[in-house]
Amino acid sequence: MSQALRVRLSTIDEAINSLRVQLAALEADKAGIEAELMARRYPIHTLPEDVLLLIFEAAVLEDLPDHLLQQRQAQTNDILALAAVSSAWRSLALATPALWRTFAVSWYFNDPILLLDAFLERSGSHLLEFDVTPRSPTDLAAALTRLTPHAARWRRVVFVIDDDCSIPPESLPASLPRLEYMDLGYIVFPANGSDPTRLTTIQAPKLHTLVTKHAPSLQSPRFVQILGNLTRLMLENSGYTPRLDLLRLTPKLEVLTIGAQSYGLTPTHGPALVILPALHTLVCTENNAAYLLHYIRVPALEELHLMDLNDAMVRALEVCIRASQKNNPTLRSIFLAGKQDVAQPQAVRVSHVQALFLLAPPTVAKFTISNLGLLPSQVRGIAGFLARQPSCLTGLAELVIEGCNAEGGVVEWVELAQSKWDHGRGSLKSFSLDIGTVTRDLKTAMAPLDEMKKEGLNVCARISST
């Protein structure tokens, strides 16, 4: 009797095991079908990891201009979001340190230190590119405490500070071997409170670009070597004398941007001239840089960008260019733009703009004129003046007119292009005209452009016809 029961129990066990095998097969089949359905619904899940990683990199490692801070913050949010989509994506993101090397941390959001520590850890040994936005000197000190141990990995650093933020000069690391770009914002390094003899000179052999809104701070002994090797400098919100004193320490400077300037700081006597022998690009974004231009000399200048043009700047440029480019002119390109704020009247005089054109040496091959903000009659006067001056801009190869309106000298600009093209015998090779609307009469006036284009001139007319 017992033997019969054992046989029966064994038969039942075999049946159960068989059903378990069938159940396992069905479960596997079900999982495969579900995975296929998921893939058809979300095709991205079928991508190989290397392809998916390329998508991640495109989303979070795109090179951005330095002024696009909001986009850089968005990139930081993107990598955090990607790592939170699924366990597979999180594993892939955490296993790829390069995705964490670029980030922005702001003390106006929650847990900035936690976020900063996460990026520093997850980026491994990769070079770092980061923006830090503190609310106070205390916040900045906290950030530097975390960042300084990783100073050997700093590559591009931006401190987003919109008001004076004082910290001791020794707060910055003494060795920044891989640093290439640094924006100090309104960081102020007080001259008092630190013993200059105990300050170590900052070593940053690869640093080529520096941005500051407080020029006096950089005259600390800590920055001597940095300034001596610098090739690009942006100066804002400092008086005339501190900027000139700083420029004396930058003999290798190639690109100089002069931005907004503090008022009421004009010296009572003329300072000594500053010669920048290697400077090839000068950018003035504010018209109150005029006084500074009186006292710098740029014998190797090739590109000149002038925005917010006014009378004082034009007069200063006459002094600077004549003194710098008289014997061996090197200037190749000039960009002129007027004041963009229509609420403030444009102070530039037609005679000074004309004088600037006449001042341009024959080496100038490209001239760009953008939104001068003058009255249409004034623009017509300038364009007509140039067309009647055959000795002006004799080497002009490219003429670009931006922001021209229907009443703003289209006829005269076309005439100028004709005179410089001269059926292919002149110097002009390219003419670009940006105009909002064109009337029937102006279409007739622009007809010569079609003929010049047929003759071989590169013509680009951006027009919205009505």
**What is the chain's length?**
466
Mean pLDDT: which of 147-156, 267-276, 334-343 is highest? 147-156
Concatenate the DSSP letters of all residues of 242-299 into one string: HHHHHHTT-TT--EEEE----SS---SSPPPPEE-TT--EEEE-SGGGHHHHHTEE-T
- What was the pLDDT predicted at 341? 54
374 has pLDDT over 80:
no
- What was the pLDDT predicted at 334? 92
Mean predicted confidence (pLDDT) in 37-63: 74
Specify the higher pLDDT residue, 43 or 361: 361
Mean pLDDT check: name the lowest of 119-123, 167-171, 193-197, 435-439.
193-197
230 has pLDDT over 90:
yes
Mean predicted confidence (pLDDT) in 46-53: 80
Domain residue limits, the chain: 375-466
Provide the 10 A C-beta neighbour count for residue 180: 16
Between vectors from CA 193 to CA 195 and to CA 242, what angle results, nearest 5°? 90
Mean predicted confidence (pLDDT) in 185-191: 81
- What was the pLDDT predicted at 239? 64
Specify the higher pLDDT residue, 210 or 51: 210
Cα atoms in the 13 Å half-sphere on the side-chain side of 247:
31
46 has pLDDT over 80:
no
- What was the pLDDT predicted at 436? 63
120 has pLDDT over 90:
yes
* Separation of CA 220 from chain center: 27
In sequence order, the 6+-apart residues with CB closer than 8 A to the CB of 125 are 97, 153
Q: Answer whether 188's CB lies under 8 Å from 217's CB.
A: yes
- What was the pLDDT predicted at 1? 67
Mean predicted confidence (pLDDT) in 10-31: 87
Q: What is the C-alpha separation between 374 and 353, in angstroms, rounded?
A: 11
- What was the pLDDT predicted at 255? 96
pTM, entire model = 0.81
Specify the higher pLDDT residue, 310 or 112: 112
Residue of 237, 238, 236, 216 lying closest to 227 (CA atoms): 216
- What was the pLDDT predicted at 407? 57
- What was the pLDDT predicted at 207? 94
Please give the mean pLDDT across all residues of the chain.
82
| Residue 210 pLDDT level (bands cut at 50, 70, 90) | very high
Cα atoms in the 13 Å half-sphere on the side-chain side of 114:
4
Between vectors from CA 395 to CA 360 and to CA 393, what angle results, nearest 5°? 40
- What was the pLDDT predicted at 264? 44
178 has pLDDT over 80:
yes
Print burial letters for 455-466: b (CB count within 10 Å at least 16), e (below 16).
Answer: eebebebeeeee
Q: Which residue has the tokens 């090397």?
A: 101
- The partner residues of 404 in beta bridges, in order of sequence, read 435
Q: Answer whether 415's CB lies under 8 Å from 385's CB.
A: no
Q: Which residue has the tokens 């990995």?
A: 153
78 has pLDDT over 50:
yes
- What was the pLDDT predicted at 167? 86
Q: What is the C-alpha separation between 293 and 289, in angstroms, rounded?
A: 7
Specify the higher pLDDT residue, 325 or 211: 211
Mean pLDDT check: name the lowest of 40-54, 262-276, 306-320.
262-276
- What was the pLDDT predicted at 364? 93
- What was the pLDDT predicted at 72? 63
Specify the higher pLDDT residue, 149 or 213: 149
Mean predicted confidence (pLDDT) in 354-370: 87
Q: Answer whether 216's CB lies under 8 Å from 244's CB.
A: no
- What was the pLDDT predicted at 440? 65
Q: Which residue has the tokens 């040496």?
A: 361
Q: What is the C-alpha separation between 351 and 10, in angstroms, rounded?
A: 111
- What was the pLDDT predicted at 75? 74
Q: What is the C-alpha separation between 374 and 162, in angstroms, rounded?
A: 33
Q: What is the C-alpha separation between 33 and 169, in angstroms, rounded?
A: 64
pLDDT in tens, 122-165: 999 999 999 999 999 999 999 999 999 999 999 999 998 877 78
Mean predicted confidence (pLDDT) in 168-176: 89
Amino acid identity, residue 200?
A: T
Mean predicted confidence (pLDDT) in 337-345: 58
Q: Answer whether 326's CB lies under 8 Å from 297's CB.
A: no
